């Protein structure tokens, strides 16, 4: 079954609105602060920001439970935040500090938190797809073989460029055969680094490829958090009920270059301006205020609250210690609890 998603209806409570808005604002504010810290020399290496794509992370992850699993890419900060990893720990990791969620060893592309079931960011394109399938398999195995009360769902995020890699096809085939409780989320931002999607893929409608593997596939407006949330809720329900995987192609756009080292000169200005006008946070704010689910003052209060959280994450990161030289070989192997 393949289907392009229609526009979303406003079927959210005021509490759900607050959760989605706060999560998207956290992602945007955090990433803006990362850009500032990077250019001030507080972060090193490649840093890939998520600005513009917040509706995808929030829409999917906030449709899941805290004990579900999330697997990301090298553009992973916001996925981690949405999954519950504290901003302090993510920022400290970006600063390479011992208090970071990966103990300062991972940096921007390898955010990881076992206690939050965040399976990590992966630097290689499509690398996380089979890892996510492994997480989904262990849930199914625990439930059906070990007899445990396990019904966790795994969300696997990746970009449009990853869908040209073999891991994508192999893993979708296996997930469908075994009816794994997994949601494959394509964040189609039109560009795989500097390669435009329409130049690299024979059939640019990625969601249609789900039909080959006998699973539902949907194209979703990735700038509309409610549209994403609606589809994600149904995909989560299917997975938790043992009905197998779903492929969601979320049409979105990154508002910055591929990384903070990218001058972003390849994408046409007219294209960027068109997508900038569809800022998912502004669109959501306008819709919920127009429908009386939140006031402008309430949303402004959330903005201020989140700014304080992000500012505190910088203070925490700056005050945290560097990893000690005596621990240079630690964390290469599992340790006893």
Confidence tier at 332 by pLDDT (50, 70, 90): confident
| pLDDT tens-place string over residues 288-319 | 999 999 999 999 999 999 999 999 999 999 99
CA 167 from chain centre, in angstroms, equals: 19
Exposure string of 153-184, with b = 16+ CB inside 10 Å and e = fewer, is bbbbbbbbbbbbbebbbebbebbbebbbbbbb
Helix (H) / strand (E) element for 182: namely strand 182-188
The pLDDT tens digits of the residues spanning 61-101 come to: 999 999 999 999 999 999 999 999 999 999 999 999 999 99
What's the pLDDT score for residue 223?
98
Q: Is the pLDDT of residue 106 over 90?
A: yes
pLDDT score for 303: 98
Instruction: Name which of 218, 226, 221, 211 is nearest 247 in CA terms.
Output: 218
Q: How far apart are CA 46 and CA 124, in angstroms?
A: 13
pLDDT for 2 equals 40
Long-range contacts of 257-262 (CB under 8 A, 24+ apart): 258/48, 258/191, 258/193, 258/194, 259/46, 259/47, 259/48, 259/49, 260/35, 260/38, 260/39, 260/46, 260/47, 260/48, 260/49, 261/46, 262/193
- For 2-184+204-316, give the CATH class: alpha beta
Q: Which positions ≥6 away from 176 have C-beta within 8 Å?
A: 213, 214, 215, 244, 245
Mean pLDDT of the chain: 95
Q: What is the pLDDT of residue 109?
A: 97
Return d(Cα 153, Cα 171) in angstroms, integer. Answer: 16
Give the model confidence (pLDDT) of 168-219 as tens digits.
Answer: 999 999 999 999 999 999 999 999 999 999 999 999 999 999 999 999 999 9
What secondary structure letter does DSSP report for 58? H
* For residue 3, pLDDT beyond 50: no
* Residue 326, pLDDT above cutoff 50: yes
Distances (CA, A) of 22 to 62, 90, 285, 311, 316: 11, 17, 11, 15, 21
Looking at residue 321, the DSSP 8-state letter turns out to be P
Has residue 321 got a pLDDT over 90? yes
Which tens digits make up the pLDDT trace of 225-275?
999 999 999 999 999 999 999 999 999 999 999 999 999 999 999 999 999
| pLDDT value, residue 8 | 58
Q: What residues does each domain of the chain span? A: 2-184+204-316
In tens, the pLDDT along 147-161 reads 999 999 999 999 999
| Model confidence band, residue 6 (pLDDT cutoffs 50, 70, 90) | very low
- In the chain, alpha helices (H): 14-39, 54-61, 77-82, 87-94, 128-144, 166-177, 197-200, 225-240, 269-276, 280-290, 296-319
Residue written as tokens 């001058």?
263
> Please, which pLDDT band fits residue 1 given cuts at 50, 70 and 90?
very low
Q: What are phi and psi of 75, to 5 degrees?
A: -100, 70
- Examine the pLDDT at 19 and tell me if it is beyond 70: yes
Q: Strand order in 69-71's β-sheet?
A: 2-4, 217-221, 246-251, 182-188, 154-159, 69-71
Cβ atoms of 225 and 284 closer than 8 Å: yes
Model pTM score: 0.94
Residue 23 has pLDDT above 50, yes or no: yes
């Amino acid at each position: 079954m393949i289907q392009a998603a229609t526009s979303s209806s406003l079927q959210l409570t005021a509490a759900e609105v607050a959760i989605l808005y706060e999560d998207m604002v956290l992602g945007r504010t955090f990433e803006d602060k990362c850009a500032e810290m990077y250019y001030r020399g507080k972060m090193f290496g490649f840093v890939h920001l998520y600005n513009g794509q917040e509706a995808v992370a929030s829409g999917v992850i906030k449709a899941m439970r805290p004990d579900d699993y999330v697997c990301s890419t090298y553009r992973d900060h916001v996925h981690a935040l949405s999954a519950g990893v504290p901003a302090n720990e993510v920022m400290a990791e970006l600063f390479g500090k011992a208090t970071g969620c990966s103990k300062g060893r991972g940096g921007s592309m390898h955010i990881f938190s076992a206690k939050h079931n965040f399976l990590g960011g992966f630097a290689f394109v499509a690398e996380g797809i089979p890892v996510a399938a492994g997480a989904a398999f262990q849930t199914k195995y625990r439930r059906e073989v070990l007899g445990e009360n396990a019904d966790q769902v795994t969300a696997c995020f990746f970009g449009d460029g990853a869908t040209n890699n073999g891991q994508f096809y192999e893993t979708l085939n296996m997930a469908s055969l075994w009816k794994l409780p997994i949601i494959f989320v394509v964040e189609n931002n039109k560009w795989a680094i500097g390669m435009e999607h329409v130049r690299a893929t024979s059939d640019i409608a990625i969601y249609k490829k789900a039909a080959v593997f006998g699973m539902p596939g949907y194209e979703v407006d990735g700038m509309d958090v409610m549209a994403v949330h609606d589809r994600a809720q149904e995909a989560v329900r299917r997975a938790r009920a043992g009905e197998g995987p779903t492929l969601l192609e979320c049409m979105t756009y990154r508002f910055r270059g591929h990384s903070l080292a990218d001058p972003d000169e390849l994408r046409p200005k007219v294209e960027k301006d068109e997508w900038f006008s569809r800022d998912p946070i502004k669109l959501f704010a306008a819709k919920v205020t127009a429908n009386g689910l939140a006031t402008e003052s309430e949303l402004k209060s959330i903005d201020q609250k989140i700014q304080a959280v992000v500012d505190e994450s910088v203070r925490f990161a700056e005050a945290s210690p560097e990893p000690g030289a005596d621990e240079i070989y630690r964390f290469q192997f599992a340790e006893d609890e």
